[in-house]
Structure 1
Amino acid sequence: MTGPRVALVLNPSSRRAPAARRAVESACAAAGLGRPLVLETTVEQPGPDQARYAVSQGVGRVVVAGGDGTARLVAGALAGAAPIAADHAAVVTLGVVPVGTANLFARSARLPLSDLAAAARLAVTGPGRPTDLGRALLLDAVGAGEEHPFLVVTGLGHDAATLAAVRPAHKARVRWLAYFWPGLRRLLRPGHPLTLTGDGRPVDAGPLWSLLAVNAARLPGGARVVPGAGLDDGLLHLVLVSPDGPIGWIRVARTGLSTRRHHPPDHPALRYRTAREVVVRSDVPVPAQVDGDVVHHVVEARVRLEPAALSVAR
């Protein structure tokens, strides 16, 4: 079977999409890989269908040019996928050219953020490394819902409500700084009474401003959601955020800016746990977010990690 060796799943809504496409095409040409199969996303088909089609065409590498939302959807479709062509690699490798707003996965994977040519070269020719993938089943009060793949984080509570409050126009204009004001307005909101278990064992949570189930995440400015977390450590890192006033938030901020490599000791404002699977329940509907995409009216979340489910060029 002959055909393209690289596919590009391109989110055309990004203002950098045309430049990203040119960079990937140039990287493919320089590596002698021919022209990539270019598949643009749409609102109705945001990435998984394009990824599955690319695999059916026998490509050995699928490159995403988009933000965290596009990357996670393509990753979920690619997890464990092998190309149809027998002369290609045993597993399809995912490459990412970050052209989104926050690009948290790219930051966590230490991918080039501002140099599209460098990002494209790594995405097209970089070695694939084992990478964990999360999946979150989010259910409403009648038990309806769906499972969402994630590369970075699933959050419940005010973290998700902050993302829901961001105005698209403001986000397009000032990018990740658009999250600052909605987050600031929610800092002193009371926590949600969440019940959770990690790997079948109860976790003493109490009211939480937010619960984060983290694969690995670095924030703009170098802050880290979980010190020491890695994209290939095989663990969900649970972050229980429950600050009591400004002093508690200072503790949260200091931990995020810390250079330590391991979880700090427990503090009432910020506690860490690890698990492979966590189940979260709420008596009242709360918002959730999956790599920045918001899901409303969630009363139960079943979040699990698939270790080394992906091969990612990084």
Structure 2
Amino acid sequence: MSVVEIVIEEGQKSERIDKVLATANTEWSRSQVQQWIKDEFAKVNGDTVKGNYKCKVGDVVTLEVPDLKEPDIVAEEMDLDIYYEDEDVLVVNKPRGMVVHPAPGHYTGTLVNGLMAHCKDLSGINGVMRPGIVHRIDKDTSGLLMVAKNDMAHESLVNQLVAKTVTRRYKAIVHGVIQHDHGTIDAPIGRDKQERQSMTVTDDRSRDAVTHFTVLERFKDFSLVECKLETGRTHQIRVHMKYIGFPLAGDPKYGPKKTLPIEGQALHAGVLGFVHPRTNEYIEFEAPVPKVFEEMLELLKKRS
């Protein structure tokens, strides 16, 4: 059992405690939190409360999170787009709309479910819910991911991510016409105090984040850019491009609503390169943008 403590801030004033706790961790469902409150695992200033308790600024909320039994993850046969595979690593092109690993609400149909049917062995470092997963991309982001098939490979790939030596280049369609050809966004990213399920540029409890971008093509009201990640923070490209005034097209969380006929952000992890854990040779792969992304580019060309 672990204990989580939250001090209520101005932006959370008058919110129900079940909502505050449900947004403190994106993997907790509202119903799960409500059950914990009913079971008296949650306290405010040391006292148990009901789920409809309205929080006050300065309230100290503590939650004893019971140890959860992780569900058995079922292997599912899928037509995976494998770009490379050997005894140590696998590179797969994840389609838009697919969740990388199981989580509450998504225990089937994830990339991990498909990998478990495809591979006999995957690294166990990240536990049974995320076998082989070294890094991830958002559900509606398409593109290349490296997967570790044993713990040796996993440790090597993670160390390369920490050392910032992995090549990760993305293509994105963003709102607005960026006038300069190149740029670097060096701005720390942390959780948004007002919207706990979102990230934002902030100096408070944030982590360094660096994104380099190059404009590939300009349209009437949009730009096609390539973004190169130096760090890999949650929603990094989406947050950084919004921060400089050019949010991603189709982004339901950080961008304007319904501006292009595309569901989810127009973002594709097209280039991935790393040093092979066993051979020490640098290998790099490139995947073309998906059909819906290409259709948006054709639409923008016609509008221009």
Q: TM (normalized to structure 1)?
A: 0.25
Tell which has more relative contact order, 1 or 2 (C-alpha 8 A, sep 6+).
1
Which structure has the highest helix share of the two? 1
The TM-score, its normalising length taken from structure 2, stands at: 0.26
Structure with greater strand percent = 1
